[in-house]
Amino acid sequence: MRKKINFSIIFLMMTGFIYAQTNAYEMASEYQNSQETVELDPNFNSNQNRSADLIYDNGPLVNSSSTGVGGADESVLQNIGLGLNILGLGHQLALGFWIADDFIINSSGGWDITSLDFYAYQTGSTTTSTITDLRILIFDGDPSLPTSSLIWGDETTNRLSNTEWSGMYRVQESTSGAAVNRPIMKNTANLNLHLEPGTYWLVWQTGGTLGSGPWAPPITINGLSTTGNGKQSLDGLSTYFEVLDSGTNTAQGFPFQVYGTAIEHVPLSNWTIIFSLLIIGLFSVFRFKF
pLDDT tens digits for range 194-227: 999 999 999 999 999 999 999 999 999 999 999 9
Q: What is the value of pTM for the model shown? A: 0.84
Is residue 290 included in any domain, yes or no? Answer: no
Which residues touch 167 (CB under 8 Å, ≥6 apart)? 72, 73
How many structural domains is the chain composed of? Answer: 1
Is residue 22 included in any domain, yes or no? Answer: yes
Is residue 288 included in any domain, yes or no? Answer: no
The pLDDT of residue 282 is 62
Q: Which runs of consecutive H residues, i.e. helices, occur in the chain?
A: 2-22, 268-289
Is residue 180 included in any domain, yes or no? Answer: yes
Residue ranges making up the domain that contains 115: 2-283
Is residue 289 included in any domain, yes or no? Answer: no
C-alpha span between 16 and 62 (Å, rounded): 35
C-alpha span between 6 and 237 (Å, rounded): 28
Residue of 20, 23, 6, 83 lying closest to 212 (CA atoms)? 23
Contacts for 45-53 with beta carbons within 8 Å, 24 or more apart? 51/259, 53/114, 53/259, 53/260, 53/261
Handedness of CA 43, 102, 225, 71 (dihedral sign): negative
Is residue 215 included in any domain, yes or no? Answer: yes
Is residue 253 included in any domain, yes or no? Answer: yes
Cα 104 to chain center, whole Å?
14
159: left (phi over 0), alpha (psi -120 to 50) or beta: alpha
Cα distances (Å, whole numbers) of residue 45 to 21, 34, 48, 213: 34, 27, 8, 29
Burial label for 92, CB within 10 Å (0-12, 13-18, 19+), is buried
Helix (DSSP H) and strand (DSSP E) numbers for the chain: 2, 15
Residue pLDDT, tens place only, 97-145: 999 999 999 999 999 999 999 999 999 999 999 999 999 999 999 999 9
The pLDDT of residue 17 is 44
CB of 219 within 8 A of CB of 59? yes
Residue of 222, 262, 255 lying closest to 119 (CA atoms)? 255
The pLDDT of residue 231 is 98
The pLDDT of residue 3 is 44
Low-confidence ranges of the chain (pLDDT < 50): 1-5, 7-19, 290
Which residues touch 241 (CB under 8 Å, ≥6 apart)? 231, 232, 233
